[in-house]
Amino acid sequence: MAFVITSQCITERAADCVEVCPVDCITLGDDQFFIDPNTCIDCGACEVVCPVEAIYFEEDVPEGEVSSIFKAKKYFGIVE
């Protein structure tokens, strides 16, 4: 995983990230957006425009949001 969208997105879902993504790697799941790690080019455009600061590099995801990493991996069928 490169970038991860955390739980703040569940209540916001502004889609600013979708609009700026140059490779269309952000999709809407059941309750939030997810970034496809296989398509993402790590440009960071999504992180900058997120109005609720819900997007982080995987290594920088706050401790209380670690479940967002697993949720994204499950969404994309990535098994560790």
Q: What is the predicted pLDDT for the residue at 80?
A: 63
**What average pLDDT does the segment 60-75 reach?**
96
- The correct answer on CATH 3.30.70.20 for the domain covering 3-75 is yes
How far, in Å, CA of 67 to CA of 44, rounded? Answer: 21
Residue 1 has pLDDT above 90, yes or no: no
pLDDT digits 0-9 by tens, 18-47: 999 999 999 999 999 999 999 999 999 999
Q: What is the predicted pLDDT for the residue at 72?
A: 96
Query: For the chain, what is the mean pLDDT?
Result: 95
CA distances from 45 to 3, 4, 70 (A): 11, 13, 23
pTM: 0.93
